[in-house]
Amino acid sequence: MKQTRILLTFWLTLQSFVGFTQASDTARITVTSTSPYQLRTGCELTLLGAGVVSYGASVVLNRAVKPLTQQEVALLNRNSINSFDRGATKNWSRALDRLGDVTLAGNLAITGLVTLGTRTMRQDVKTVTVMFIETLLLANGIERSVKGLTQRIRPFVYNPAAPLDDKLTRDARQSYFSGHATNAFTTAVFTGEVFRHYFPNSRLKPVIWISSLGLASTTAVLRYKAGLHYPTDLLTGAAFGSLVGWGIPKLHELKNRGELGQRLDVQPWSNGSANGIYVRLHVFSR
């Protein structure tokens, strides 16, 4: 699908990102982390595994979708659509469809700029990247699987002004629910949540939220105006995407919001007949 071509290239390094500072007067090594999030091997394997499985299932389900025939298209009646969604069947615009791709890419750009443009998040880029990959995999895997199961006909198929060739594709039967709205709101909420956790006192928090949610809402409106989704498709995508965008960071959030750190004590020892090194790890909050 088009929105999946917009997503970031999947790359993953499952390792902790920590900084070491050595004290000048002893052999003590101190590790200090100010990240509000923590990666845990079991959690990451579970989330990534669920994302990969759901995405794989979506591929199988969507390949099984049979395109509409010309005869089936001719028999469609927009009056069969519920009154809340029916207005979407009058819309069609390829230009607005493409513009929706641009606004979705804008949301991804905000995420990248916030992550790489701030020193604190840039130093913790691996944690943010792993969480974001998990977010996108789960959101898209589940959304695309639902599309393959429901096979809801897109609203433009009911519009005589839309090209017949576009109506006779698998994609014409994948309306519920909106992938663009899902990805847009997933990215917007993820960005806003992560930024506020890294910078709880920043005056830029409203700017990040308003700009990212504004682009996400614009993406949804454009998908409606282009005749590609019904309002219920977009509302479901926005709600589901927001839930995933909030939930993945929440699962990784440290319970103790204070400054956390680890101290690794490394000291030589000797009892006269034997020599060795004493190692002890302290985990503390300050």
> Where in the chain are the domains?
2-285
Q: 67-89 burial string, b = 16+ CB within 10 Å, else e? A: ebeeeebeeeeeeebeeebbebb
Position 255 scores a pLDDT of 78
Residue of 278 and 58 predicted with greater confidence: 58
CB count within 10 Å of CB 174 equals 25
- What distance in Å separates the CA atoms of residue 127 and residue 123, rounded to the nearest whole number? 9
pLDDT of residue 63: 94
Positive or negative, the CA dihedral 231, 234, 235, 236 is: positive
Q: What is the DSSP letter of 16?
A: -
Reported as a single tens digit per residue, the pLDDT across 128-159 is 999 999 999 999 999 999 999 999 999 999 99
> 31 - beta bridge partners?
20, 262
276 by DSSP, 3-state: which? strand
Query: What pTM was estimated for this model as a whole?
Result: 0.79
- Over pLDDT 70: what percentage of the chain? 78
Q: What is the pLDDT of residues 197-237, one digit of tens each?
A: 999 999 999 999 999 999 999 999 999 999 999 999 999 99
Q: Residues 74-83: contacts with CB within 8 Å, 24+ apart?
A: 76/153, 76/157, 76/158, 77/158, 78/158, 81/155, 81/158, 81/230
Per-residue pLDDT, 176: 97
Q: How confident is the model at residue 279 (pLDDT cuts 50, 70, 90)?
A: low
* Burial of 199 (C-beta count, 10 Å sphere; 0-12/13-18/19+): middle
- For residue 33, pLDDT beyond 80: no
**Residue 256 pLDDT:** 66
